[in-house]
Amino acid sequence: MVEINSKIEPAQTNEIQSEPRSKSRQENKMQETNQVASLASVAAQTSRAINKFTPGSGFETKNVHAWFGKHHALADVSLEFPSNTVTALIGPSGCGKTTFLRTLNRMHEFIPGAAMAGQVILDGQDIYEPGTDVTKIRLKIGMVFQKPNPFPSMTIGENVLSGLRLAQLKRSNKEELMEECLTRAGLWNEVKDRLGAHGGSLSGGQQQRLCIARALAVKPEVLLMDEPCSALDPGSTLRIEETIRQLAGSIIVVIVTHNMQQAARISDYTGFFLSDGGPGQLIEVGTTNEIFSQPKDKRTEDYITGRFG
Amino acid sequence: MITSQDSLVPLTTYSGVIPEKRELTTRPRFSDKVFRAIVTSGGFTSLIILGLIALFLTLQSSTVFRQFGLHFITGFEWSQGDPESGAPAKFGIGAMLIGTLVVSMIGLMIALPISVGTALFINYYAPDWLRKPLTIMIDLMAAIPSVIYGLWGFFILMPHAVYWAKLLHKYLGFIPIFRMPSEIYERSPFIAGIVVGIMIIPIITAITREVFSQVPLDRVQAAYALGATRWTMIRAVVLPFGASGVAGGAMLGLGRAMGETVAIYLVLNLYFIPNFNILFSSGGNVASLIVSKFGESEDFELRALMAAGLVLFVVTLLVNFLSDLIVKRTARKGR
Ligand SMILES: Nc1ncnc2c1ncn2[C@@H]1O[C@H](COP(=O)(O)OP(=O)(O)O)[C@@H](O)[C@H]1O
Ligand SMILES: [Mg+2]
């Protein structure tokens, strides 16, 4: 599983430039060690089913690059996502996490001038293969966005089932499906009495869970989440984290997060992205335990100890 | 730890007297005053002009309304009378109002689907290089004087339209509006409706295109991320969002169609009989009535035309008002 990118240049000086006063530096040091210890312990506490990646099944990328026009935003990312696991992608902002995530279900190509290279392989099939029906790809690889975006013209129930309509799928037991997805997204109890209300009438956290339910209703094999909790209160965040842990029993989840505690809590694997001014790269990937307790790369360590980012 | 109530120092002493609300003012800067004066006078100028037009028309036509009352709106005749035989003048624009409605409705029914389709094509289907030229061309359509549309309608469109009308009558003649009292197909509301419809395509297209282009990208992406095709995305996201804009564009187009004058004058047979058989050569609308009679009329008939103008003015205002209501009503849903 662990595949460290070999093309990365030697570690650069990522130490904080301005020297803090010696006393506070001392304090910083202590805080850092505390933080690492706590992240590591959080990571260690989570029970994990460490699945090994079996080639030809599941989901993987090979040497993925991405461009916005002439701007090379992402370079040479090769990652494997074993089935029934959660992989967290962390890294400072602007390092290409969102871009990478959007290459995984071919949403990247919506941006005018966007280009990519490399392969994204689901069940042995390259999703960028010429002649592929991209709508089918997006059905298998669902996405939850940073900002909750339910369809305001639809009711809560219609929102959950909107994927069936949009992808023109036939399902007979829609009521059952609606309940199942809302339950899996941890929203059923809150909305079961008002499925006819409009999606916009929910709180932000509920809206995001509605979006998760909506994404689950088309039975994806992979769910991509781009900082799904960044706009939410702690309570909603907790609910969504529980949801993600439960989802990991049946599908592959790839989640971008700014919150390292969150990555430590919910993920089986963690990948660290970084851009040193050039295109963003995958610096290191490993089990979440490893990344937070004994990262191999100096830059990963610096990042998780909060020395930059 | 505070245990008893009286150890608490009250933070506020609310006597129960509600003070008078204060006036919230600010002293505007000089530049602000100047700017305010300019925009205020601008805003009022249009109001004043509108008011003066209404006043002028009302004053000019008051004798007509006094004489005919409601009959002026519901009546179906137009004669100056004959001083020699003593026949009185009779003016009633009912047929013209019906004609206005029929022609505008036909125009709208033709223009609306074409405009919405064009707007969707430009925004979601056209290749990048085609988008700009297409938009410019449609905007140019709006700049063509209506007399040109009239001439084109008369000389080019009419022969074809007569053929289509005959087909409609032959196969759908059992529908009342496609019946023919007698076989005259030229200069019918149907043909006038087509001409007007083409004339209002640019304005409806421009407005719907503008609204469609404001659809929030995150919703569009949410739909695509759920495996939507372009068409299912449009149905689920673009059309609900754009509904109010489409309604507004349609109403604006309707207003324009109702006021259309010269083109209608050329392609519609003016008759003071109410006609709902849209393929039959009889109709007219208020505006074309005014141009057709204006040159040769005097005194009382002239005033009757002013009265007709006032009615058209009021109806157009009503349509605009209604369109506002519709836009607000539909805007609340779908956004
Ligand atoms: N739509 C876009 N057009 C042009 N450049 C973009 C666009 N989106 C992102 N970028 C650039 O790509 C790089 C990676 O961005 P992104 O993937 O959003 O980073 P992250 O999600 O890690 O914060 C950044 O340098 C950003 O400026
Ligand atoms: Mg991002």
Domains and CATH numbers, chain A: 45-151+219-293 (3.40.50.300)
Give residue A306's pLDDT band: very low, low, confident or very high (50, 70, 90): confident
- pLDDT (tens digit per residue) in A114-166: 999 999 999 989 999 999 999 999 999 999 999 999 999 899 999 999 999 99
B1 three-class SS: coil
Contact check, Cβ <8 Å, B232/A165? yes
For A44-81, letters b (16+ CB in 10 Å) and e give eeeebeebebeeeebbbbeebbbbeeeeebbbbbbbbb
Please tell me if residue A132 touches chain B, with a CB cutoff of 8 Å.
no
Give residue A34's pLDDT band: very low, low, confident or very high (50, 70, 90): low
pLDDT at A155: 94
Gap between the Cα atoms of A266 and A288, Å rounded: 9
pLDDT at A23: 45
Instruction: Kindly state the percentage of chain B with pLDDT values over 90.
Output: 52
Pairing of strands B90-91, B78-79: antiparallel
- Give the residue from B93, B127, B199, B221 showing the smallest Cα distance to A146: B221
pLDDT at B124: 92
pLDDT at B229: 94
In this predicted structure, the answer to whether residue A57 has a pLDDT above a threshold of 90 is: no
In this predicted structure, the answer to whether residue B314 has a pLDDT above a threshold of 80 is: yes
Please tell me if residue A197 touches chain B, with a CB cutoff of 8 Å.
no
Please tell me if residue A107 touches chain B, with a CB cutoff of 8 Å.
yes
Give residue B320's pLDDT band: very low, low, confident or very high (50, 70, 90): confident
Contact check, Cβ <8 Å, B232/A153? no
Terminal-residue alpha carbon distance, chain A: 26
Nearest to B227 among A112, A136, A211 (CB): A136
- Mean pLDDT (chain A) is 85
Give residue A7's pLDDT band: very low, low, confident or very high (50, 70, 90): very low
Protein residues near ligand 2, an ion, with CB under 5 A: A 98
Radius of gyration of chain A (CA): 20
In this predicted structure, the answer to whether residue A16 has a pLDDT above a threshold of 60 is: no
In this predicted structure, the answer to whether residue B248 has a pLDDT above a threshold of 70 is: yes
Gap between the Cα atoms of B237 and A154, Å rounded: 10
Top mutation candidate among A64, A67, A68, A273 for ligand 1, by most atoms within 8 Å of CB = A68
Question: What would the mean pLDDT of B144-163 be, rounded to a whole number?
Answer: 92
Burial of A8 (0-12, 13-18, 19+ CB in 10 A): middle
pLDDT at A20: 42
pLDDT at A17: 41
- Give the residue from B284, B266, B293 showing the smallest Cα distance to B79: B293
Give residue B327's pLDDT band: very low, low, confident or very high (50, 70, 90): confident
Please tell me if residue B230 touches chain A, with a CB cutoff of 8 Å.
no
Tell me the β-bridge partners of A223: A142, A253
pLDDT at B84: 81
Contact check, Cβ <8 Å, A151/B219? yes
Gap between the Cα atoms of A103 and A119, Å rounded: 10
For residue A162, what is the enclosing H or E element?
A: helix A156-166
Gap between the Cα atoms of B38 and A197, Å rounded: 47
Question: What would the mean pLDDT of B301-322 be, rounded to a whole number?
Answer: 91
Are the beta carbons of B77 and B272 closer than 8 angstroms? yes
Domains and CATH numbers, chain B: 100-269+318-332 (1.10.3720.10)
Q: What is the pTM of this model?
A: 0.80
- pLDDT (tens digit per residue) in B40-52: 999 999 999 999 9
Gap between the Cα atoms of B333 and B335, Å rounded: 6
In this predicted structure, the answer to whether residue B234 has a pLDDT above a threshold of 50 is: yes
In this predicted structure, the answer to whether residue A181 has a pLDDT above a threshold of 70 is: yes
Greater pLDDT, A136 or A31: A136
Give residue A307's pLDDT band: very low, low, confident or very high (50, 70, 90): confident
Please tell me if residue A201 touches chain B, with a CB cutoff of 8 Å.
no
Nearest to B229 among A110, A135, A214 (CB): A135
- pLDDT (tens digit per residue) in B85-128: 878 888 999 999 999 999 999 999 999 999 999 999 999 999 98
Q: How far away, in angstroms, is A68 Cα from ligand 2 center?
A: 15
Contact check, Cβ <8 Å, B229/A143? no
The C-alpha of B225 sits at a distance from chain A's nearest C-alpha, in angstroms, of: 6
pLDDT at A42: 76
Nearest to B227 among A135, A149, A150 (CB): A135
Gap between the Cα atoms of A225 and A245, Å rounded: 13
